[in-house]
Amino acid sequence: MTTAEQVSHLLFKHLQGTLSVEEQQQLEHWLQQSPRNRQLFNSVNDEAQLRQQLLVYQEAQQQEQPVWDKIQQLRNRPSAGTVRQVRFPRKWMWAAALCVLLAGTGVYVWNNTPGQAPDNTATVAVHDVQPGKTGAVLTLADGRQVVLDSLQNGVVAVENGARVTLKNGGLAYNGSADNTTAAPLYNTLSTPRGRQFQLVLPDGTHVWLNAASSLQYPTQFTGKERKVVVTGEAYFEVAASSTLPFTVVTGNAAVQVLGTSFNINAYNNEGLLAATLVAGSIKVSAGESTVLLKPGQQAQVNHAAAKQEVKVVRDADVAQVVAWKEGVFNFEDVTLEEAMRQLERWYDIEVTYEKKIPDIRFGGKLSRDMSLKGLLKSLEEADVHFRIEEGRRLIVLP
């Protein structure tokens, strides 16, 4: 019989990638013994689920403080200062935390009664808020709107000869060469707060839309350029063309490319428009100012400035910029207020402050798949506290 301590050891070595052939066989044997064992194994490989299970365990047990003291010792917590930071545990740290729980208590994260499936209902509190998901609204050229959240795969519309097809949570346009001389029709794809979506434009360009964003585009590209209009945030992988430049217009700025990958953050409440180049080359223009970016650089335009000009950050944190596309909150050196704006969009909540806004900066990453309650539990490591109220309202406490 495999003990909890032995399972802990195997799971931790699995995440480190250091299992021997014999240990791998032992792990496989344990996985085949019970569906609950497989579910626990899957939770170890899923950081968000593991974090949630640990939080539930913490709340359910009143005598666990010595165990959690051990978990705290696994963390590298910075000293307090005027600007405080919290660093979230990496995946292996959470695995170590689980190992401490298993070895120190001799029980599973859930109630491991023979024949009883784990009860996951406790993971959602009355005032908890679930994370955003895939979904959008497509506005056709004639004004009709199609809600894409729950539609099945297939053709959802035909616009000027172009078939609009929904497949596996994404939208694609397949145009007809017979209609290239027709006047262009425009569609708009919009993501409300708490939704994100992706689509493939008629030229093969791939676009990801973050929450509270929109993209206006023709159902077919005609003429001498390809032009789209963006609000909010979007990531582009532009299909290369030496004869048809691709232009993204947002507010008073424009981004021109031939074929490249880049991110645009143009939320009005962020203060700055930021275009970050991942690969290739882009030209960013605002007012009479124009800059040419190299990979790893970011162009910034102040929304409120009387004179529109482009400033360049030559060593941008590209991984942080595109983290949303990978399903991650990257809060490295992010202020509390900036983090709360991201949560407002993704969880579709309203954030208010009971007193003044705390002077706090975060550090580290968290999964966007976590419930709001689970995510806030991690943020509270920075000595800031929250209260979730009915009506999707989050109060930041002093």
The DSSP result for 280-301, as a single string, is S-EEEEETTEEEEE-TT-EEEE
What domains sit in the chain, N to C, each tagged with a CATH number?
A: 4-123 (no CATH), 133-321 (2.60.120.1440), 327-397 (3.55.50.30)
Residue type, position 68, single letter: W
User: Of 207, 200, 230, 232, whose CA–CA distance to 346 is shortest?
Assistant: 232
HSE-CB for 79 with a 13 A CA cutoff: 1
pLDDT of residue 9: 74
Q: Exposure of 85 by Cβ count < 10 A (0-12 exposed, 13-18 middle, 19+ buried)?
A: buried
Q: How far apart are CA 57 and CA 379, in angstroms?
A: 18
Distances (CA, A) of 155 to 159, 163, 208, 274, 360: 11, 7, 20, 35, 48
Residues in Cβ contact with 33 at an 8 Å cutoff, skipping those fewer than 6 apart: 2
pLDDT given at position 292: 95
Residues 368/132, Cβ–Cβ less than 8 Å: yes
pLDDT for 61 equals 45
The residue with tokens 């004869």 is 243
- At residue 51, φ and ψ (nearest 5 deg) are -60, -45
- Do residues 10 and 37 lie in contact, with contact meaning Cβ atoms separated by under 8 Å? no
User: Tokens 């199609």 label which residue?
Assistant: 146
Which residue in 365, 396, 319 sits closest to 48, CA to CA?
365
Whole-Å CA distances, 332 to 72, 132, 265, 323: 20, 21, 17, 11
The whole-angstrom separation of Cα 375 and Cα 51 is 9
Residue 390: strand pairing partners = none
Residue ranges in the chain whose pLDDT is less than 70:
1-5, 12, 15-17, 39-40, 42-126, 175-182
Whole-model pTM: value is 0.72
Query: Any residues with CB less than 8 A from the CB of 100 and at least 6 apart, and which?
Result: 8, 67, 70, 71, 74
Rounded Cα distance between 244 and 80, Å, is 54
Task: Say what the pLDDT of residue 353 is.
Answer: 95
Residues recorded for the chain: 398
Rounded-to-integer distance, Cα 259 and Cα 201, Å: 14
> What pLDDT is recorded for position 5?
61
In terms of phi and psi (left: phi > 0; alpha: psi -120 to 50; beta: otherwise), the region of 386 is beta
The predicted pLDDT at position 109 comes to 32
Residue 337 DSSP class: H
